[in-house]
Amino acid sequence: MDFSIPDATQALLDRFRAFIDEEMKPLEEQTVGKSFSEVLPLLEEKRSKTKELGLWLPQIPKQFGGVGLGFMEYALACEQLARSPYGNFVFNAQAPDAGNMEILMEFGTDEQKERWLQPLLDGRIRSCFSMTEPNRPGSNPVWMETTATLDGDEYVINGHKWFTSAADGAAFAVVMVVTDPEAPPHKRASQIIVPTDNPGFNLIRNISCMGHAGEGWGSHSEIRYENCRVPAKNLLGEEGAGFAIAQSRLGPGRIHHCMRWIGISERCFEMMCQRAATRELSPEEPLASRQTVQNWIAECRAEIDAARLMVLHAGWKVDKVGAKHARVEISSIKFFVAEVMMKVIDRAIQVHGALGITDDTVLATYYRHERAARIYDGPDEVHRNVVARQVLKGYGYTPKAR
């Protein structure tokens, strides 16, 4: 294992970092606590700049117009982008579009690529991924109610989804549907592209989360698919491949998610230290003089460093042997890093006192949005389960198939 970063990669990482520091942080006074439509014109200006600088689409191969960073190079870049809540967005590397770009590149037909992928890559449209249902546990992805049945050369989709992030204003949804309820569990579902202007695509509401319903890219929607007819050619990949496609998107993507969480932790840590060093409790007695605060700073430093090394190690293993053989490492970082991030954000807020819970800093935004990290991409408990079962296998305990 090599801890050095090649000079060329480091130079690129420095450029991402500089963009966040010089272009995005100063924007926060105008963006924190504002609605997506209010901030979008400012973000579009920044998007033009990232294009001009040749930093647009860092995660995408050069032949598709991206920077062409490798898997681990992009993991390192994710840490830098996450130091602003809109960092990923201004480089067109934001969820859920980045995941949809990935699956369209890998599984899309030429026609699907032209109609959906290209405008996504250009930043002309947004998209969403519609899998979770209110009436079924998202933690059991092979048990879903939404169906698609073939009628001539059309699929007819019926079902109820929620937490479809960024559906509001998206041009299309990639919808996970059951196409064969009799097939083995992992072969029952397929992914189908549904344009959101389809009369059967009914956005019921943007769900209020932590007091904010949000809008546009910054929202999570409830959707009813009601006799939603789409051409059969909108099927992504093969029928029955929905679960496999979802897995291909999730496994390695978790390394990038976790590096994003490290970036958020670092940003909040910096803010915590700055505040501790400058906020005086009495003349010439800063908050930093208190041992409790020093302990928090020391612990956070150590935990962020430990988390980063775990993620880099997991990424290195994915690179060497593939995601399938790095399940323990991937699941370990999912719950470990999410918890470290939440602890760091919480302590940074505590050190800021009342200011910490206002929208005068970015901390409250991170706190509200990132709590979900312990739930999406598989709840922490499911990942703990994966780790424990794999470890126990080494001790002769064979878990019952569920």
Ligand X SMILES: Cc1cc2nc3c(=O)[nH]c(=O)nc-3n(C[C@H](O)[C@H](O)[C@H](O)COP(=O)(O)OP(=O)(O)OC[C@H]3O[C@@H](n4cnc5c(N)ncnc54)[C@H](O)[C@@H]3O)c2cc1C
Positions that interact with ligand X (CB under 6 A): 96, 129-132, 137-139, 163-165, 220, 372, 375-376, 379, 381-382, 385
Residue with tokens 């479809």: 164
Q: Please, which residue, 130 or 206, has the CB nearer to ligand X? A: 130
The residues facing 178 across adjacent strands are 147, 189
Instruction: Give 127 or 361: the residue with its C-beta nearer to ligand X.
Output: 127
Q: Which is nearer to ligand X, 12 or 87 (CB)?
A: 87
Q: Which residues contact 390 (CB under 8 A, 6 or more apart)?
A: 327, 328
Q: Tell me how far, at minimum, the Cβ of 384 lies from ligand X, in Å.
A: 8
Q: Are 206 and 214 in contact (CB under 8 A)?
A: yes
Do the strands 285-286 and 235-236 form a parallel or antiparallel pair, or are they unpaired? Answer: unpaired
Q: Residue 43 or residue 375: which is nearer to ligand X going by CB? A: 375
One-letter amino acid for residue 29 of the chain: E
Residue placing its CB nearer to ligand X in the complex, 212 or 290:
212
| Residues facing 229 on adjacent strands | 156
Closer by beta carbon to ligand X, 131 or else 178:
131
**Angle in degrees, 0-180, between the axes of helices 7-19 and 71-81, rounded to the nearest 10:** 30
Q: Quote the CA–CA distance of 215 and 223 in Å, as a whole number.
A: 14
- Closest separation in Å from C-beta 375 to ligand X: 5
- Which C-beta is closer to ligand X: that of 253 or that of 352? 253
Give the C-alpha distances (Å, rounded to integers) separating 199 from 78, 195, 202, 306, 323.
Answer: 37, 9, 7, 50, 39
| Residue, CB closest to ligand X | 138
Cβ neighbours, 10 Å, residue 322: 11
**Bridge-partner residues for 174, per DSSP?**
129, 193
**In angstroms, what is the minimal distance from the CB of 126 to ligand X?**
12
CB of 91 to ligand X, least distance (A): 19
Shortest gap between Cβ of 56 and ligand X (angstroms)? 23
**Number of other residues whose CB lies within 10 A of the CB of residue 7:** 8
Judge whether 181 and 137 are in contact, CB under 8 Å: no
CB of 97 to ligand X, least distance (A): 11
* Least gap, CB of 141 to ligand X (angstroms): 7
Tell me the residue type at 96: P
